[in-house]
A and B are shown apart, each in its own frame.
Chain A
Amino acid sequence: DGGITQSPKYLFRKEGQNVTLSCEQNLNHDAMYWYRQDPGQGLRLIYYSQIVNDFQKGDIAEGYSVSREKKESFPLTVTSAQKNPTAFYLCASIDRASGNTIYFGEGSWLTVV
């Protein structure tokens, strides 16, 4: 079945370490997004990519990096520069052919210990 797969679902990180969250989609969607969710703050856009080999900063890009070398993959790296990385991270993609329907992954919980 087609969909968006995020991994890992749960991740613990020591302070000062970089970690990479995986996001893979087999839906043939061009546009992909990373959101961060904090309690009481809803979802905030970190980075987005409208096409392979291109990506743009969202509202809270500091301390994060992404790549888009393949259409199917949009990994997010949480760097040591991110001061408060503990959060729930959601990856999404858009199907323009169906009127821009947005599909979400199941999310990844990152906890800094």
Chain B
Amino acid sequence: GNSVTQMEGPVTLSEEAFLTINCTYTATGYPSLFWYVQYPGEGLQLLLKATKADDKGSNKGFEATYRKETTSFHLEKGSVQVSDSAVYFCALKGGNAGNMLTFGGGTRLMVKP
């Protein structure tokens, strides 16, 4: 079946530091890949997505590129802010699993001023 593995947190960074959160996946077929963000006390929000190989999703300064050769979808941001502190979830959908969303375990990011 499908699975998503992301780096364990928490990740603690200073403001303006470079962020990378690794995400790798296992799936049959051709899934779509997503990053969701959960701010404290809130539900999940879609951050960005990519639906085919080599696509780059981007939003709010975050980027992730769908790398089929390495089955990865790493999340990056060049300069993090305190307001980026949240839990980030990598997810995939599709392939042979249809509309089912499969999530990674989440990575907590803490940005210090």
Chain B residues contacting A90 (CB-CB under 8 Å) are 43-44
- A42 near B105 (CB under 8 angstroms)? yes
- B101 near A92 (CB under 8 angstroms)? yes
Chain A residues contacting B99 (CB-CB under 8 Å) are 31, 50, 94, 100
Q: B93 interface residue, CB < 8 Å from A? A: yes
Out of B45, B104, B105, which one reaches A104, CB within 8 Å? Answer: B45
- Closest CB in chain B relative to A97 CB, distance in Å: 13
- A45 near B46 (CB under 8 angstroms)? no
- B100 near A45 (CB under 8 angstroms)? yes
Q: A41 interface residue, CB < 8 Å from B? A: yes
Q: B42 interface residue, CB < 8 Å from A? A: yes
Q: A81 interface residue, CB < 8 Å from B? A: no
- Closest CB in chain B relative to A31 CB, distance in Å: 6
- Closest CB in chain A relative to B50 CB, distance in Å: 12
Q: B58 interface residue, CB < 8 Å from A? A: no
- Closest CB in chain B relative to A27 CB, distance in Å: 14
Number of interface residues of A (CB under 8 A): 23
- A43 near B103 (CB under 8 angstroms)? yes
- A100 near B93 (CB under 8 angstroms)? yes
Which residues of chain B from 81 to 99 have a CB within 8 Å of any chain A CB?
89, 91, 93-94, 99
- Closest CB in chain A relative to B24 CB, distance in Å: 14
- B43 near A104 (CB under 8 angstroms)? yes
Q: B32 interface residue, CB < 8 Å from A? A: yes
Contact status of A107 and B43, CB under 8 A, knowing A45-B100, A94-B99: yes
- 10 tightest A-B CB contacts, nearest first: A106-B43, A42-B105, A43-B103, A107-B43, A104-B44, A42-B103, A104-B43, A42-B106, A94-B99, A42-B104
15 interchain pairs, CB-CB under 8 A: A6-B43, A41-B105, A42-B103, A42-B104, A42-B105, A42-B106, A43-B44, A43-B101, A100-B32, A102-B93, A102-B101, A104-B36, A104-B43, A104-B44, A106-B42
